Amino acid sequence: MASKESAPLVHSEWMQFAPLIILLPMMAFAVILFLGHIFNGHPFWKKNLKEGGLIALPVMAASLVLSLLLISEFLKGNSGVDQIFEQIAWVNTGVWNGGSMIEPVSLGFGIYVDHITVMLLFVASFLCLLINTFSIGYMNTDPINDNRNHRFYAEFVLFCSGMLGMVLADSFLWLFIFWEIMGLCSYLLIGFYYERPSAASAAKKAFLTTRIGDVFLMIGLVMLWDLFGSLDYAVVFATENIDAVAAESAGTLQWALGLMFIGAVGKSAQFPLHVWLPDAMEGPTPVSALIHAATMVNAGLYLVARMFPFFGAESLHGDLDDLAFVIASIGGITAVMAAAIAFVQMDLKKVLAYSTMSQLAYIFTGLGCAMYLANTLDWHHNDKDHYIVIVAFGAALFHLFNHAMAKGMLFMASGSVIHEVHHAHHHLHHHDDHHDDHGDDHHDDHDDHHDDHFDAQSMENMGGLASKMPITATAMLVGSASIMGLPLIGGFWSKEGIIANAWRVAQNDPRFLLPAMCVLIGAAMTGFYMSRMWFKTFAGKPNNEVAAHVGPTNTWIKTPLFILTFVTLSSIIFAGMGFTHWASDTEYSFLSERNLLDGIIYEMDHAFANSDIFFFILTYIAIFMGAIVGPGLAMALYGGKLAEGEEAKPWMRPIIALSAWFNDRFHFDNTALRESTLATALENRLYIDEYYDKAMINIVAGFSNKVAETDAEVIDGTIKAIESGSQSLSTIVRSMTTGSARDYILMVAVGTLALFLLIWGVA
């Protein structure tokens, strides 16, 4: 069985505070909940502490600072893997393996830092802080949320604690534990407006769908535990332990990892467990930004990325390629499916939700391909292969980074739009009300809450906002460009890598043509739906009066948008710093020997002037599809000038002008297409949700009702039958007690005779 000595223990000054990264938000959870309960509605609590928002903010800032210190300490040490302190034994128990001994087993908690941790840790803590800032601007200005925001912030910090814990945990077990805590927070936050039936049902759907994945994950973990006798990374990733398992049960290991992957599919909303994510948009927008775009949905990716050492192990060479194919294919299928559904969505947040699904699928494809390469190439000995594997894995992780930043920003920007549209609507409505009906103030109060006729999230109610919300429009533009993979911006650097690697694998293994085609087509589709979203929202004339009255947004909202725009735009710097080579391999690690400028030039050269003719052509096909075909179509359909007298910022002007030109030149009538069967099917999310609901109602509910009936009638019925049987028996016996001497003499006689016969018979 496994030994635990393989992990080096590094104690450094800052690292001993690492548990605080998790514990601080967890404590803040209790504090905010408690104070919020006591001071609810108090003006100081509301104005000065923002109902807990300003308690959460410094805590998240502290977490970020500690995380950064941890990261820098780790990178300075450059040791590959750090374990910060001895494990805390959590559960002590024993198993018997058939011998004469009981083997003690301990499930412990510790902190484990490697290159994947570092990446996710930064993404999570950075976005948690920014979205916390955004929340203060978003949640506290909405009258619907009055006096319940402390619940929001409490659950928010608990979520952050769960996410950071998951990233820092040193075993698959604790990964799972924090994973579930995130699931709980997701449930609570989606159901933040619990009184809305749609929100309550979406929360339940999210929890249950991910739970189904978790069930498989749990079985996978148990299998893995059986193979290694532990779930600690230090043990399961140790080469000698992997070798031992590989020699005997490589097939079982593939099953275990496959089951764990199903958990990841649920958490990261991939086909066929994707149905919860669009509904999850019922939660407040900061929640969508943080949990359902930037962090929690990455948990599944993180889990798969964690499995890399198995795929990369020399002794498992070629044993896990089927699983790698499954991972890549699920990614490919989801990428296209989600992008297609995004074509027809009218709800701003739903477009982004499907986009999230699609982009996560890209990362899954990237990971699957990297895993395939690691599993089939001789990358331990061949330098060229080594480089290929590192770059493939790095591309997937870098896309995770880019996507998290861009999608977090997009959601916040969309939230800012929705927020302002809502306000504009409210303002107009209020104004009208006063005009028409002076006395009906009470009615007005009710309208604060829900207005069934007006949907502030629908793009039908937007249009031409570019001039009214410049920062938001810019952020949205940069974010969209990053997701689309427009050259030089954000996601471009990683998406090209994913597409290139998918095709590289497809050259070796024709099965991979499926995901490879999917990601290539998906690039064009992404270009279309993201552009469509931007033009429908920000270009053209306002669609109605509400959109015409939208005003700029507040500072709390602007700040994170501004920062993230900057981060997304400077993606090339990150790429130059070696983010594309992100793997637990010191040779190609972060901040390698190369200086920044060399790195950037290298990345540029690699992207635009690839020496391999196949990849050179592929790059330009991808750019053509993602940056010209998709956006071009969107411009032709939805582009247009702003209203008279409205001026967009100079950097947005050419884009709007271009879209107007495209619209004039190439506009075509797409009514027939919009009313086709396919479009209807897409609007109904390909009927998948419907089938699931039907299965739930007919099969599960029907079956359980039958079982409950059986329980009441057969099992309890038997008991009742015995009961009534004994009662009627006693009635018969009782009726024999007639009180008449003649009857008794008869009974005595019969009884004596019977006894006599019995004894005679026996004798």
Partner 1 sequence: MQDWISMPLVGFPLVASIVLLAFVSNADDAMRKRLSNPIRMATLIFSLVMLVITTGLFFQYFGSLSWEGISFNSYNYINRYNWIESLGIHWTVGLDALSFPMVWLTTFLLPVTIIATWNEKNGALYFPIVLAMGGALIGVFVALDLFMFYVFWELTLIPMFFLILKWGGKDRKYASQKFFIYTFTASVIMLLGLITLYFFQDPVNPLQYSGSVTGRTFDIGEITQHALNENGKGWYLGANIQKILFVMLMLGFLVKLPAVPFHTWLPDAHVQAPTGGSMLLAGVMLKMGAYGMFRLPISLFPHALQYFQLVLMAIGMVSLVWGAVVCLGQTNLKKMVAYSSVSHMGVILIGIATMQPMGWAAALFMMFAHGIISPMLFAVCGAFKHHYHSMEIGAMRGMAKHSPWLATSMMFAWMASLGLPLLAGFVAELMMLIALWYFLAAEGWSVFWMVGPALVLAITAGYYLWSMQRTIFEGGDETQPPESLHGEPVPDITNPEKLAMIILAVFTIVFGVMPWIALDMMHDWTAEIFKGLILPILGGFNGGA
Contact positions vs partner 1 (CB under 8 A)? 89-96, 98-100, 102, 105, 173, 176-178, 180-181, 184, 187, 191, 194-197, 199-201, 203-204, 207-208, 211-212, 214-216, 218-219, 222-223, 225-226, 255, 446, 449-450, 700-701, 703-709, 711, 715-716, 719, 723
Cis peptide before 470 (omega within 30 of 0): no
Structure tokens belonging to residue 117: 């941790």
Closest CB 205 distance from partner 1, rounded Å: 9
Closest CB 195 distance from partner 1, rounded Å: 5
Closest CB 719 distance from partner 1, rounded Å: 6
Query: With respect to partner 1, which residue has the nearer C-beta, 225 or 638?
Result: 225
Which of 533, 500, 232 lies closest to 391, judged by CA?
500
Query: With respect to partner 1, which residue has the nearer C-beta, 188 or 477?
Result: 188
Beta bridge partners of 113: 82
Structure tokens belonging to residue 88: 């805390």
Amino acid at 198: S
Give the list of residues 6+ apart from residue 185 with CB closer than 8 angstroms, or none: 155, 156, 158, 159, 162, 291
Closest CB 184 distance from partner 1, rounded Å: 6
Query: With respect to partner 1, which residue has the nearer C-beta, 190 or 483?
Result: 190
Query: With respect to partner 1, which residue has the nearer C-beta, 104 or 761?
Result: 104
Closest CB 203 distance from partner 1, rounded Å: 8
Per the CB < 8 A criterion, the answer to whether 359 and 701 are in contact is no
- Going by the DSSP 8-state scheme, the letter that residue 47 receives in this structure is I
Closest CB 102 distance from partner 1, rounded Å: 5
Per the CB < 8 A criterion, the answer to whether 224 and 303 are in contact is no
Query: With respect to partner 1, which residue has the nearer C-beta, 269 or 623?
Result: 269
Query: With respect to partner 1, which residue has the nearer C-beta, 160 or 577?
Result: 160
Q: Where are the alpha helices (DSSP H) in 667-737?
A: 671-674, 677-683, 688-694, 702-710, 716-736
Closest CB 132 distance from partner 1, rounded Å: 23
Rounded CA separation 65/667 (Å) = 51
- Residues for the chain: how many in total? 763
Query: With respect to partner 1, which residue has the nearer C-beta, 613 or 733?
Result: 733
Closest CB 430 distance from partner 1, rounded Å: 19
Phi/psi at 94 (5° precision):
-145, 155
Closest CB 234 distance from partner 1, rounded Å: 19
Which of 234, 236, 207 lies closest to 221, judged by CA?
236
3-state secondary structure 398-416: HHHHHHHHHHHHHHHHHHH
Query: With respect to partner 1, which residue has the nearer C-beta, 225 or 493?
Result: 225
Structure tokens belonging to residue 546: 């509400």
DSSP H or E stretch at residue 375: helix 348-376
Closest CB 187 distance from partner 1, rounded Å: 8
Query: With respect to partner 1, which residue has the nearer C-beta, 194 or 614?
Result: 194
Give the list of residues 6+ apart from residue 167 with CB closer than 8 angstroms, or none: 117, 120, 121, 124, 302
Phi/psi at 92 (5° precision):
-110, 125
Query: With respect to partner 1, which residue has the nearer C-beta, 96 or 760?
Result: 96
